[in-house]
Amino acid sequence: MTYRVPFVDFPAQYRCLEDEIMATVKDVFSGGDYILRDQVRQFEENMASFLGVDYAVGVNSCTDAMLLSLRAAGIGPGDEVITVAHTFVATMAVIVHCGAKPILVDIGDDYNMDVSQVESAISPRTKAIMPVHLNGRLCDMGRLMDIASKHKLIVIEDAAQALGATLDGRKAGAFGLAGCFSFYPAKLLGGAGDGGIVVTSDKDIAEKVRLYRDHGRATKEDIALFGFNSRLDNLQAAVLNVKFRYLPQWIKRRRELAGLYDKNLSHIPQLKLPPSPRDSGRYFDVFQNYVVRTQERDRLVSYLNECGIETLVSNPKPVHHHPALGLSNFRLPRTEQFAKEVVSLPMNSELSNEQVEFVTKSINNFYRGYI
Ligand SMILES: *Cc1c(COP(=O)(O)O)cnc(C)c1O
């Protein structure tokens, strides 16, 4: 089905960038630059300077960025890592793949970790906290970093959805020991496939992740540890360098669209909106997703679908409720409630104002039946 308003529109973005992308692809092919060449180094420099950190190491996904960061930080069997369930499953999977145990805490109204619950989740085994900056808004990192330093815990940020978001002027990914980003195509900065990066200002972590991503090879002769194959493809880096130039304008556009949603929907009492980009105070949100909450979620989703509007319900069943994952002992009332109520409306920098107006008009029509 082709939607009148698609959730993301990859071909539309490609049409805008085709000449630049094809030129860089041609350079990569004609130079034979496939693995860890200048394009990767350039992209790492771009990201480190954009985020205000000392090092960036390109890897094949955010999942591996998190896995390699946890391992580089020494997380292993017997350790506990505090995180949330209201996220993509990968955040919990990497903890398990290190041999450690995820300890789940509930979320607040911002859909991020309820930082006030963290201290009671700390045990003698706790080694790290993994906050997730969901939907393009930072978790309350000021308070979280205070708790982490008081209890001497490592912080690794899942910043997959928050490239460019800030709190008190500091960028997501630049608070903890390491920050992890995704360049999955649907992300704010998306490649032509998978990609990820670890950012840090800790030299040891950067060096270790660099070793892990490339079979532990320190030099041509020396292997320093048993590593993985998790390099950021050079071709992906080349494409990402092109798209990186558009990042500020894409963020600006997303915030404009969020403002338009806000203006046209804020009068509907049954609908809980994210903070408006106009009054988010200390927070600068990048709106990776524009998420609304409503008790009529499922009916709203099917109504919008009939109107030709594509929406996304990320976790219709909370991750900790999948029996195979062994996490069903956690009681997370808000995570469970919000899983029934949240829906992401179309949000991408290629959307026109007219498309967003059509979405908001349709939502208004839907609620007219309820008011
Ligand atoms: C997309 C995403 C990931 C996984 O990123 P990949 O690059 O696909 O591995 C992890 N956490 C969150 C919050 C995400 O949105």
pLDDT, one tens digit per residue, over 76-107 is: 999 999 999 999 999 999 999 999 999 999 99
CA of 64 to the centre of ligand 1 (A): 10
Measured CA to CA, the distance from residue 56 to residue 359 in angstroms comes to 38
Residue-level pLDDT at 370 = 62
Let me know if 272 is exposed, middle or buried by CB neighbors in 10 A (0-12, 13-18, 19+).
middle
Residue 331 Cα to ligand 1 middle (Å)? 24
The separation between CA 308 and the C-alpha centre of its own chain, rounded to angstroms, equals: 27
Q: Is the CB of 156 under 6 A from ligand 1?
A: no
Please indicate whether residue 360, judged by its CB atom, sits closer than 6 Å to ligand 1.
no
Is residue 60 lining ligand 1, measured as CB closer than 6 Å? no
Residue 371 has pLDDT above 60, yes or no: no
Q: Tell me, what's the pLDDT at 1?
A: 74
Could you report the per-residue pLDDT of 167-211, keeping only the tens digit for each? 999 999 999 999 999 999 999 999 999 999 999 999 999 999 999
- pLDDT for 2 equals 87
pLDDT band for position 112 (cuts 50, 70, 90): very high
Distance between Cα 159 and ligand 1 center (Å): 8
Spell out the residues 6+ positions from residue 331 whose beta carbon is closer than 8 angstroms to its own: none
Taking the chain, what is the end-to-end CA distance rounded to the nearest angstrom? 31
Establish whether residue 62 lines the binding site of ligand 1, counting it when its CB lies within 6 angstroms of any ligand atom. Answer: yes
pLDDT digits (tens, 9 = 90+) for 209-242: 999 999 999 999 999 999 999 999 999 999 999 9
- Give me the mean pLDDT over the 249-274 stretch: 97
Q: Is 91 in the pocket of ligand 1 (CB under 6 A)?
A: yes
pTM of the model: 0.97
For residues 308-337, average pLDDT: 96
Mean pLDDT of the chain: 97
